[in-house]
A and B are shown apart, each in its own frame.
Chain A
Amino acid sequence: MSAAPSACPDCLRRSWLLSHLAPYIEKIATGAPGSRSPELLRLSGEDLAEVAAPKVAKQILARIAAIPERRLFDDLRAAQCWACCRHDPLYPTGLRDAADAPWALIGRGDPALLGELEPEAVVTVVGARRASSYGREIARELGRELAATGIVVVSGLAFGIDGCAHRGALDAGLTVAVLGGGADTPYPAAHRSLWRRICESGLVLSEQPPGAIAWRWSFPARNRIMAALAGMTVVVEAAERSGSLITADLAADLGRDLGAVPGPVSSRASAGPNNLLAGGACLVRDAQDVLDAMLGPGAQRVEKAGMPLDPELLEILEAVERGEDTCDAIAIALDLSGADAASALSRLEMLGYVSCSMVGVYSRTLLQPPR
């Protein structure tokens, strides 16, 4: 067995301090929607306590200092978590560059996978919780293809883009979820089963101790971890004041690559990435673009040409690309009978060229027919 991660009690106490100070930080950080939390976290424990809770700073610091060492590790064990502090060789190298990096990472899953978290092999995929089916499909494909080429896909377990990126990556390789609350507490709760699957085959990380709940300020705080872990951050869909853009800013501050998936100019959900592109972010159309940006053009190729298609299926595929998204719309656009349109769409779905949502709406996947 490879070296188990370890953490020194002082670094761990920092995590415990954060969770004790959480409500006080919430008060001072939420004035300017959460954005100040990563800066606050650069402060030392004493200063942070002074700033956040001047009246009770001494009591809180004393209480944290009084937690016996054994209690810290017992708590971790009880929650089936482990910890890895900045003094441990397994501590991800990407985080070492960041001035505000967490002192200790508390995680669930196989700790040996920490060794895989080299920034040049990690991509963070973030985006809106309120994502369109286009965004979700892209996130899923991006997650799957990146994971398939051996890239670790980092995201935040949130609804929408995050969840889809995780799901796609789970199908093909390794994924890491960074949480705002404790690593043993899936948030949102509806993603419990996804969280469990990630615990089984990937990693769930947090800087908060087990059982800590997520506050508003903890999301920008965890975004800084996601940005620092990865060599490249890709924004799939984000509205103009989305939290995903905080991740993008943080990544840019660290000098990491920043990518964005373009979307329709008229779509509010794509305003964020479109603005990033206008500002010089790397254009991401598929996993190949990400690999080219990270490893240099042509260093590694994504295999994604599908089975050859008959001319009539190609015609239908083009109709889906034009935005005819239900069986009925296709039948009308191409003047087919309902039965013929159904049969053709079903064959395209089986070949992986289109996918169908729960409410019967078709969307195009990234798979390209061979030319």
Chain B
Amino acid sequence: MVAVLATARTFTLDGISARPVRVEVDVHRGLPSFALVGLADTAVREARERVRAALANCGFEFPLRRIVANLAPASLRKVGPGMDLAIATALLTASGQLSWEAMSRLAMVGELALDGSIRPVSGVLAIAEAARELGADAVVVPAENGPEAAMAGGIEVIALESLEQLLPLAAGEWAPERPEPLPLLLSPNGYGPDLADLRGQRHLRYALEVAAAGGHSLMMIGPPGAGKSLAASRMPSILPPLAPEEALEVARIASACGWLKDPPVGGRPFRAPHHTISPAGLVGGGNPPEAGEATLAHRGVLFLDELCEFRRDTLEAMRAPLETGSVAIARAGAWRQLPCRFMLVAAANPCPCGRGEGDAECSCAPIAVQRYQGRLSGALADRIDILAAIRQPSAREIAGEPGESSADVRERVTVARHRQERRLGSGRCNAEMTPAEARECVLSDEAAALLAEAYSRRRLSGRAHDRVLRLAQTVADLAGIETIGREQMAQALQLRRRDQ
């Protein structure tokens, strides 16, 4: 047998997007060996052993010849086990054991088990979309990833369970069932946490509603156990439903992280990283660059519990992403831009012991309290609009009636968001108003007088002035009022975060 060359198309995941890779396998005479070249990471290089075992266990022959597998382009770093299937298929073709005419018009991904079954990989949604963009007829994916790949639409999806199925598939004797795409749920499916669980806490409920309605970032300050985390985890359920293209963005990120669940939870993501997280963990990083919590919270809520306990450099790293809605990660040989338009919800204790200075039990030294609260006024806190001070709910409230449900609140929030979109353009909310747009808010004379008075009493800084305008606009949108009145302005002034 002469030396034969075969090629297959596959993809490698780069951050959250897929990059095309061409697998070239050359089999010719010589001492038996299997070389894998083309800037592959450890998981890819180990493909040699998986492919060897899978072929043998599926009744194929592993050619005892000199085999060279090249992953092109050689300059692109390849990661993950998703190229196993393409390497095996190309090897079978090159060694004459498989003849598949359609192969040049296909893309394939999948990890091989030693028995030849095909294991799921992450990022299949992005890969299927990339294959469609490249003009491939179909994409071959692991059976478990089938519904995920089908979400891409516009491309045939072939979901395989095992390497053995290649022969009947290539011969045209058998074809797998076409997988049903995962539904794209724009709002939560109703089984998630509900705001009704938050009992009492009227002001907190109100602050949550305003924050959701205008996309404003929110900070909750109160003793442990008062319901801060509970409230934060309910935030996604009162945010307006996702637009279809937004839902696809969220699904793509979840898919790249291998989390797209069946059945999907739906709605907006909620991420609550622990405060020991590193800057790279929060905004993304590493080499090759990977997505951080900020990106995973894209279009959803990023909850930072115990804000004062986070490392300062971690919080500083969030400044630019918060401003621009995307994070740019530059590493040697790699530059990525990842989306991260999230809503920031933070929680903190009033002092290191958590009881707050009004409490007789609090024994925090004043300098410790000052240092602790100093962290609340850093550069990140500057980007927080709303402050909600909360107290331990009373026993009567805890035992009382459940609060209003998420669905009811979401309805009001959605109406308020529609008003904002009509004014600012699609997909935008009050929190994103530029200073020029904020000045265009229509104020009644009384509201303007109240704002001017707050400003002249030096209880407001210049930056806080615009922040209050944005908040007042949201309060007015919630109330369904065109002109910001005295009442709305007063509420906005109360809700605003205080800076010392």
Q: Which residue numbers of A lie inside 8 Å of B, CB to CB?
A: 129-133, 159-160, 188, 190, 266-267, 325-329, 331-332, 336-339, 341-347, 349-350, 352, 356-361
Assess whether B498 is in contact with A341, with CB atoms less than 8 Å apart: no
Cross-chain pairs A/B with CB under 8 angstroms, 22 sampled: A159-B366, A188-B367, A190-B367, A327-B494, A328-B201, A328-B202, A331-B203, A332-B200, A336-B202, A338-B203, A338-B205, A342-B490, A342-B491, A346-B494, A350-B453, A350-B454, A358-B498, A359-B373, A360-B387, A360-B388, A361-B350, A361-B356
Contact digits for B196-232, partner A, Cβ 8 Å, 1 yes 0 no = 0000111111110000000000000100000000000
Q: 9 other contacts beyond A332-B397, A358-B376, with CB at 8 A cut-off?
A: A131-B366, A326-B389, A338-B204, A346-B491, A346-B493, A347-B450, A347-B490, A356-B498, A360-B387
Name the one of A130, A327, A359 contacting B203, with C-beta atoms under 8 angstroms: A327
Stretch from B19-27, B285-293, B311-319, B357-365 contacting the other chain: B357-365
Q: Does B457 contact A (CB under 8 A)?
A: yes
Q: Give the docked Cα–Cα distance between A37 and B72 (Å).
A: 82
Assess whether A343 is in contact with B490, with CB atoms less than 8 Å apart: yes
Contact digits for B487-499, partner A, Cβ 8 Å, 1 yes 0 no = 1001111110011
Q: Give every chain B residue within 8 A of A345 (Cβ-Cβ).
A: 494
Q: Give the docked Cα–Cα distance between A345 and B490 (Å).
A: 8
Q: Which of A346, A356, A358, A360 has the most CB of B within 10 A?
A: A360
Minimal Cβ-Cβ distance residue in B for A346: B494
Q: Give the docked Cα–Cα distance between A188 and B366 (Å).
A: 12
Q: Which of B201, B356, B366 has the most CB of A within 10 A?
A: B366
Name the one of B204, B350, B394, B499 contacting A359, with C-beta atoms under 8 angstroms: B350
Q: Does B500 contact A (CB under 8 A)?
A: yes
Q: Give the docked Cα–Cα distance between A331 and B394 (Å).
A: 13
Q: Give the docked Cα–Cα distance between A350 and B449 (Å).
A: 11
Q: Give the docked Cα–Cα distance between A199 and B20 (Å).
A: 68
Minimal Cβ-Cβ distance residue in A for B226: A328
Minimal Cβ-Cβ distance residue in A for B492: A346
Within 8 A of A (CB), among B452-473: 453-454, 457, 459
- Residues A133 and B357 in contact in the complex (CB < 8 Å), given A328-B389, A343-B491: yes
Q: Give the docked Cα–Cα distance between A267 and B361 (Å).
A: 11
Minimal Cβ-Cβ distance residue in A for B367: A159
Q: Which of A133, A160, A337, A357 has the most CB of B within 10 A?
A: A357
Q: Give the docked Cα–Cα distance between A160 and B500 (Å).
A: 15
Q: Does B370 contact A (CB under 8 A)?
A: yes
Within 8 A of A (CB), among B374-389: 376-377, 387-389
Assess whether A341 is in contact with B202, with CB atoms less than 8 Å apart: yes
Assess whether B358 is in contact with A133, with CB atoms less than 8 Å apart: yes
Assess whether A160 is in contact with B491, with CB atoms less than 8 Å apart: no
Name the one of A129, A267, A332, A359 contacting B389, with C-beta atoms under 8 angstroms: A359
Assess whether A328 is in contact with B366, with CB atoms less than 8 Å apart: no
Within 8 A of A (CB), among B1-49: none
- Residues A342 and B356 in contact in the complex (CB < 8 Å), given A359-B350, A359-B389: no
Q: Give every chain B residue within 8 A of A341 (Cβ-Cβ).
A: 202-203
Q: Give every chain B residue within 8 A of A190 (Cβ-Cβ).
A: 367, 370
Assess whether B350 is in contact with A349, with CB atoms less than 8 Å apart: no
Minimal Cβ-Cβ distance residue in B for A323: B358
Assess whether A360 is in contact with B490, with CB atoms less than 8 Å apart: no
Minimal Cβ-Cβ distance residue in B for A268: B360
Q: Give every chain B residue within 8 A of A188 (Cβ-Cβ).
A: 367
Question: Shortest CB–CB separation between residue B85 and chain A, in angstroms?
Answer: 56
Assess whether B494 is in contact with A349, with CB atoms less than 8 Å apart: yes
